[in-house]
A and B are shown apart, each in its own frame.
Chain A
Amino acid sequence: MAALLKAALALPVLALPARAGAIESGEVGLNILGYKERGLMRVTEPVAWGRVELADGWEVKGSAAVDIVTGASPELVTNVSGKPVQVITGASVDDRRTIWDLKVSKRLGEWTLGVSGARSSEEDYLSRAYGLEVKRDLNDRNTTLTAGFGRAADRVRSHDDPTLDEPRDTREYLVGLTQVISPVTVVQTSLQWGRGEGYYNDPYRHTLTFYPEPSVPAFAVDTRPDHRNTFAWITRYRHHVASHNGTFQAEYRFYRDDWGIHAHTAEIAWSQGVGGVWTLRPALRYYTQSQADFYTPLIPQPQPAILSSDQRLAAFGGLSPSLRAQYQHPGGWRFEGTIGYIENASRFHAGGGGSEFFETLRAYYAIVGVSRTF
């Protein structure tokens, strides 16, 4: 390679520095997500986002979203002699959540420094977070090391209890490695640790259990540990197959926390280019988790100090197929649409042994988006 440049230096021509123009470029877009869970809950989420690359290696990214949640909050009533019955209560979830985040990063040679902030608020919940990130490119940018720190300060409130205003603090640490293996193959892996302290209870959740004896049902409010330590390992693999004009994508995530949950997520996808402007991406995701130590759909006797019947803490598994279509107009407009289906069920738990009373969840979602580069 150097030989080519060296031979050119012997020519009577000026070596002009190969400098790109310091010009701003960027992208803006709007996505709308629709989600329907068996008539239980419908969420629509318009997200506006943008990204601007400025001169001298500055980059600013941001997004803002409004979630409109309508429907009803499920509540669980259990019966020791039978199947739990999920009741849709009158106290409906009808909330509006606003979210925004902003990230500024600056490239300094092989280093990239990033600072981010985010805020999410709804009537009964407020989250403020910030993050710091350092990236280092090595080996002609074929290797990138990432280290990050994030901190979130949340407040949990309740419509039902105006006196409730409890804090929750979370710190997260990340180290990652991105490696270009060949011009068509990239592997990315990262380790993430989280340490949270504070209020984890769901103020709307109660567990009610009817026993054959005595006739008075047991009643328990949702009570969880006041801390949660998490660990996750995520690996992504992408391989472009030029002969088929497609890219194979695979992702695996391992998660565990000190509540007793171990989870595995695996996703495979194939992104197929069609005619230069279309991309179709069918994907299939599988998820499985063990149950939290204190998950119980029934109130045991004697009643323990901590317990929750939130079925997101149960042992279950999920399958989620999706299909995304994208149209890239050469003028810079991009249109995309995704449809997907989620089914979470006890029987999908890896190796069997899913929680007996897990109510199968079936949901459909669709995302449509438009974006434009400038």
Chain B
Amino acid sequence: MAAENELQVHAEDAGIAGRAARAAIAEVQRIEAKYSRYRPESVVSRINAAAGKDAVAIDEETARLLDFADACWRQSDGAFDPTSGILRRAWRFDVARVPLEAELAPLLGLIGWDRVERDAAAIRLPQAGMELDFGGFGKEYAVDRAATVLAEHGIASAFANLAGDIAILGEQPGAEPWQVGIRHPREKDGLIARLPVASGGMATSGDYERFVVVDGMRHCHILDPRTGHSARGLQSVTVHATSCIVAGSATTIAMLKGAIDGMAWLEALGLPYFCVSEDGTVAHTFR
């Protein structure tokens, strides 16, 4: 996970804080090793290598994460698809170029969570070339697990941040909330809002993380598996939830649904959210 990560832990003495922090970091590393698609021995790599061939046995943790991914897929009418990472092969955000439909079509044929064969103990990708990717929820899960491990060590005040995916375990000493800045979608290093958060998970999806601009049109890394093209209508969405994995998946689903449907869906979800519409105006704040 090559990004800015941060862990702040408050405890009565530095020894307790240090032990808890080390355990939390170890937990994040464990999850990364288990679900990274860059590690050949990871669960994800083994599942992908067996695509079109055998089912791969999975443990309970993996099964539950896949259940969660399934709930996201259903909630998003298929826009959130754990097999859509393969679109990366056509979209290279270091070159200002939009892939041709002829390039996207074969990849779209390899996407389809509904075709994945799965039960509580095993999973099989039915077609060679299909890929499973935990990119949409793995990092969020890791930060939630870090907070959980800290709580198990008796910590009541901590802030865990994995590249913008945040879990907060209680206020800072003195009942001071943590100040979470929301990046300005168009101003580099600028903030569009700052929110005081006492506890909970928080995540942001934006069209500014990886993108290319071609003929004045911005194409971002949030790709719709039904079209192969970028999500449109919102510059950024931030959700505050009881866990980061819920917040993160909700922001991605809202981005994929676009301005009108995405905001309606967030309203129905009932969680506090902040979003910036395509024109740069703040369309909704937490209050």
**B-contacting residues of A (Cβ < 8 Å)?**
1, 3-8, 10-23, 53, 140, 142, 182-184, 240, 242, 245, 273, 275-277, 330
Contacts and interface: CB of A to CB of B under 8 A. Distances in A.
Given A20-B195, A21-B171, A276 B233 contact: no
B199 interface: yes
Interface string B249-273: 1100000000110011001111110
Contact of B242 (A1, A18, A53): A18
Contacts of B241: 5, 18
Contact of A11 (B64, B171, B186): B64
B191 interface: yes
B238 interface: no
A273 B282 CA distance: 11
B141 interface: yes
20 contacts: A1-B75, A4-B71, A4-B75, A4-B246, A7-B70, A10-B68, A13-B245, A14-B169, A16-B147, A16-B167, A16-B200, A18-B242, A18-B272, A20-B198, A20-B272, A21-B171, A183-B284, A242-B260, A273-B281, A276-B281
Given A16-B169, A182-B264, A276-B279, A21 B178 contact: yes
Given A18-B272, A242-B259, A12 B145 contact: yes
A184 B278 CA distance: 14
Contact of A20 (B72, B75, B196, B250): B196
A13 B28 CA distance: 13
Contacts of A19: 197-200
A8 B243 contact: yes
A21 B197 contact: yes
Contact of A13 (B67, B144, B267): B144
Contacts of A8: 68, 242-243, 245-246
Interface residues of B, number: 66
A288 B97 CA distance: 59
B17 to A, nearest CB: 18
Interface in B203-255: 233, 240-243, 245-246, 249-250
A interface, over-half SS: loop
Interface in B159-181: 167-169, 171, 175-179
Contacts of B269: 1, 4
B280 A273 contact: yes
Contacts of B250: 4
Contacts of A140: 267, 270
B99 interface: no
Contacts of A21: 171, 176-179, 195-198
Q: Which of A15, A240, A242, A330 counts the most B-chain CB atoms under 10 A from its CB?
A: A242
Interface of B: 61, 64-65, 67-68, 70-72, 74-75, 141, 144-145, 147-148, 151, 167-169, 171, 175-179, 184, 186-187, 190-192, 195-201, 233, 240-243, 245-246, 249-250, 259-260, 263-264, 267-272, 277-281, 283-284, 286-287
A116 to B, nearest CB: 21
B270 A23 contact: no
Contacts of A5: 241-242, 246
Contact of A7 (B71, B167, B175, B192): B71
A77 to B, nearest CB: 54
Contacts of B72: 4, 7
A84 to B, nearest CB: 51
Given A183-B263, A276-B279, A1 B268 contact: yes
Nearest to A271: B281
Contact of B177 (A3, A16, A22, A242): A22
Contacts of B74: 3
Given A4-B71, A19-B199, A242-B277, A13 B260 contact: no
Nearest to B177: A21
B242 A15 contact: yes
Pick the most buried of B67, B179, B281: most chain A CB atoms within 10 A of its CB.
Answer: B281
Nearest to A276: B280
Contacts of A276: 186, 279-281
Nearest to A5: B246
Nearest to B275: A183
A277 B279 CA distance: 10
Contacts of B271: 18
A240 B278 CA distance: 13
Contacts of A12: 61, 64, 145, 148
Which 3 A/B pairs are nearest by Cβ-Cβ distance?
A21-B177, A276-B280, A21-B196
Contact of B147 (A6, A13, A273): A13
Contacts of B148: 12-14
A114 to B, nearest CB: 16
Given A17-B200, A20-B195, A11 B242 contact: no
A281 to B, nearest CB: 13
Residue with the greatest number of chain A CB neighbours at <10 A, chosen from B61, B176, B263, B280: B280
A17 B141 CA distance: 16
B176 to A, nearest CB: 8
A12 to B, nearest CB: 7
A21 B284 CA distance: 18
A284 to B, nearest CB: 23
Nearest to B195: A20
Nearest to B249: A4
A56 B280 CA distance: 31
Contact of A10 (B67, B167, B283): B67
